[in-house]
Amino acid sequence: MGEPTYVLGTVPPYSSGQNATIPQIGAAPYRYFQGADLAWMMMSSALVLLMVPGIALFYSGVSKSRFALSQAWLPIMSTAIVGLEWYLWGYSIAFSNSPSSRVFWGSTDGIALHNVLFRPVRSSGDLQTEGPVIPELVYALFQGMFACFTASLVSGAAICKDRPGHFLVFILLWTTFVYNPIARWTWNPEGWSNSMGALDFAGGTAVHICAGATVLAHSVYHRCLPKVEAFLERILGGPRSPAGPPTTNSNGVSADQTLVAAHSRVADQPGQEPSHNVENVLLGTLLLWIGWFGFNGGSALGANLRAVSACVSTHLSACAGGVTLCILQLLPGSVAPGRARDRTGDGSVFMWSIVEFCNGAVVGLICITPAAGYVPHQISPVFGIIGALICSHVTSISVKLGDTHGIIVYHGVGGLIGMFLTGCFARKNVAHLDGFTNIKGGGWDGHWVTLGWQIADALAGMGWAFTITLVILLLLEPFMYLSRDKRARYPIEHGGKLTDEWTIQEAVEMSEVPSRRTLPR
């Protein structure tokens, strides 16, 4: 029996097979760019930006109330810093292509978005093939939102560790030397990973593995920080002290003693203590979920059927991840370490965990990110289920390393799972849903070499992010050491205003010593 025949109205065709110079495109852009593609890409850019307040609310909600303000503010401020960096030199490093550009580093062609306007961009990276294109300025906007969101993810590493000003300096250098090179080899046609055939649709390596490895390096570094400070004391002199006497609280306890006691406390760890504001966690997750449609769907770089498939896969994976992790909490402890019981301790009564559902949904979104435009939507729930099962059993890694938001596990491990499964289930017919993208497929299509490149790309991204992050922290430490005081001498913020002179833990102690006054510098 033959295929059914449908009566359809014809769609006005796009212009194809035409040669045009940049001035010719600029004179009549409507002849070369489809309005639907432009509208979808601009909407997708806005949806990705919506994920920044989503992650701010999520971080704020899972933190203790005394850390909530800083955890809501740092992602927003990181976005502003990285937005300027992307405009000035970030896009040039990641995506400029000229005779002077390199595999890991771009040229000066796109600095301050110079000459970034009409040049056509296609998701396949091959402008010699037929198909619709978008102008480069729209592409620069969309990719800039990715850089901002990745930086906002990394901001979760600063809790109890970095002063706000110190972290913002770090994130500026980190975006330049860590994120931009990884984005270049992932999405730029000249990047080694892209050229070899690795498949990373929307940032499994460039966003999630990169963020997870960065937080891992940050956590390891701060565990070794006392040794680094001891070395700097021998080189640069003893610990700096304020130019005035330390103040004491009403019980006669000095600020130094108070701060020492603060460092011995156990921070809020994932799964150990309840989140202070579950409503913020839920709202943040919903904003992330909505924004992820632009994150993955927009990576098709056009309003086409591939974008639709990516959105459906994204939604199904998030649903499967949330339900799986929620159900795991109802199983015996040997199956799910985080079994939830009621407040009375009655083992026969269980509670549905809102936070665990949110964590599971986010894990599902992370795992499907590199695969959304490559795998059939029928298989996408597998990504959420496998991701939730594995991540729920390795959260102890984040706990031991002081990763209070679980970024190492949920984003780092989740990204690794997504890259691996993409190599197994990628289909060339799914990638071709946009009408012009051609790939060799993954293991399902009998092309198992893709799986090897997936693993190589993921490990390379993890190694680069981990190593360069440690180098940046080590290079910054002498300057931070000279500006840092061993005494918690600065008052906490007033009226919702933050200062640049305290760590988050110092701010906590300021709130517990109301009689504290500012000491002269």
3-state SS of 267-306 is CCCCCCCCCCCHHHHHHHHHHHHHHHHHHHHHHHCCCCHH
Q: Which helix (H) or strand (E) holds 472?
A: helix 449-483
If we measure between CA atoms, which residue out of 337, 419, 427, 417 comes closest to residue 384? 417
Taking each helix axis from N to C terminus, what angle separates 449-483 and 180-187, rounded to the nearest 10 degrees? 170
Cα torsion 58, 60, 63, 66 to 10°: value is -170
- Residue 121, SS3? strand
3-state SS of 8-41 is CCCCCCCCCCCCCCHHHHHHCHHHCECHHHHHHH
**Residue pLDDT, tens place only, 95-153:** 887 655 566 787 778 788 888 877 777 655 544 455 678 888 999 999 999 999 999 99
Q: Which pLDDT score, from 0 to 100, does residue 388 have?
A: 94
What residues of the chain score a pLDDT lower than 70? 1-22, 24, 26, 28-30, 98-103, 122-131, 236-276, 332-351, 481, 483-521
How far is residue 200 CA from its own chain's centroid? 14
Q: Which pLDDT score, from 0 to 100, does residue 195 have?
A: 86
CB 440 within 8 A of CB 427: no
Collect all residues with Cβ–Cβ distance below 8 Å to 234 and sequence separation of at least 6. Answer: none
* Rounded-to-integer distance, Cα 183 and Cα 187, Å: 6
Q: Which pLDDT score, from 0 to 100, does residue 386 have?
A: 96
- Interstrand relation of 134-135 and 120-121 (parallel, antiparallel or unpaired): antiparallel
Q: Which pLDDT score, from 0 to 100, does residue 9 have?
A: 53
336: which strand partners?
Answer: none
Q: Which pLDDT score, from 0 to 100, does residue 38 have?
A: 92
- DSSP secondary structure code for residue 370 in this structure: T
Under the phi-then-psi rule, with left for phi > 0, alpha for psi from -120 to 50, and beta for the rest, what region is 322? alpha
Q: Which pLDDT score, from 0 to 100, does residue 16 have?
A: 55
CB 486 within 8 A of CB 233: no
Q: Which pLDDT score, from 0 to 100, does residue 396 have?
A: 86
Cα-Cα-Cα-Cα dihedral sign, residues 455, 460, 463, 464:
negative
Q: Which pLDDT score, from 0 to 100, does residue 145 have?
A: 96
Q: Which pLDDT score, from 0 to 100, does residue 503 have?
A: 47
Collect all residues with Cβ–Cβ distance below 8 Å to 193 and sequence separation of at least 6. Answer: 185, 186, 200, 205, 453, 456, 457, 460
How far is residue 419 CA from its own chain's centroid? 15
